[in-house]
Amino acid sequence: GEVPLSNQALAERHGLSPSLSRTILLSYHAARAAYDTIPTTLRSTARVGFISATSVGGMDKSEQFFEEYLCGDASGDLNQIRHHDCGRSTDFVARELGIKDFVTTISTACSSSANAIMLGARMIKAGLLDIVVAGGADPLTRFTFNGFNTLMIVDPTQCKPLDAARDGLNLGEGAAYLVLMSEQAATALPTPPRCCLSGYANTNDAFHQTALSEQGEGPYLAMQQALHKGGLQPTDIDYINMHGTGTRNNDLAEGTAIRRLFGDAHPKLSSTKSFTGHTLAASGAIEAYLSVLAVTEGYVFPSFSFDQPVETLNLRPETEFYQAPAMRHVLSN
């Protein structure tokens, strides 16, 4: 799941220094594109916030430093360590974009950028901000890969989410940001907003540090509460972009939760992580954006390498890409 652009290429594209962390470069690349969609008049008159998520921050630069430092304690450029903190990329990008009204970082592992979107929505609803650029970024690092490998949940081949023979996840990297607006701010747009964030929820079943309960209590409550907040019934959902990591625990638990909430008449569903890999803190925002495309363009995304459904669930994800223009409500886990 690598982004096919080197740090040098990303930096040159935006006139930045290639010595910056990959998180900063990925974050700026995506946040700049999102911010530039806001009309200039709105940028200058509205209260704008930037809520960015990452799980490893500038870990890539820390790895470079320690490689050199291990050769001798007088070796290594300590300037690389200044990128380490998770807030470093947020502050850098906000400063470059000129966003000053509210800036904060969220680091809650794989839910990070979903939480960034939720916090942005809540702040707009509370009347504290008019516009929020919300999302996240994470790079591939050896720290990340070794961490997941230690958990023994990395599939050495392309991952197979929702498949009975699934053997773990693939890691990816990336960045995505969405522009959230109050209804009043949106009236100043030259075209109508692309879609509405109608509901959201975050739950924690406190079952285990790195695993979900087999009953999928956390995912079940999160989906249930998101639907309730949006004033929707399970039958209103046209497509679910699942968390779908490809690990034995996640897919069974999440699938069980979907069965509990939707019964036999579950909506179309798939895991786009089978194409992107698990992009960690960026995944919530990347998949939220794919969900926007599902609503606005009618895109139904497939799962890759699906053969046999997960034991006891009989959930069959979509396996072909197609358009279903009538889609109105999409759930992103």
- Is 278 considered catalytic here? yes
Extract the tokens encoding 167.
């053997």
| Nearest of 303, 290, 296 to residue 331 by alpha carbon | 290
Q: Which of 110, 159, 266, 329 is catalytic?
A: 110
Q: 159, 138 in Cβ contact below 8 A?
A: no
Q: 177, 30 in Cβ contact below 8 A?
A: yes
Burial 199-216 (b: 16+ CB within 10 A, else e): bbbeeebeeeeeebbeeb
Gap between the Cα atoms of 276 and 173, Å rounded: 8
Q: Which of 83, 86, 159, 278 is catalytic?
A: 278
DSSP letter, residue 79? G
What is the C-alpha R_g of the chain? Answer: 20
Burial 232-255 (b: 16+ CB within 10 A, else e): bebeebbbbbbbbbbbbbbbbbbb
Gap between the Cα atoms of 41 and 48, Å rounded: 12
Q: Which of 29, 83, 243, 329 is catalytic?
A: 243
Q: 259, 313 in Cβ contact below 8 A?
A: yes
Q: What phi and psi, each to the nearest 5 degrees, are found at residue 267? A: -70, 175
Gap between the Cα atoms of 171 and 154, Å rounded: 8
- Is 243 considered catalytic here? yes
Collapsing DSSP to helix, strand or coil, 281 comes out as helix
- 3-state SS of 256-268 is HHHHHHHCCCCCE
Residue numbers annotated as active site: 110, 243, 278
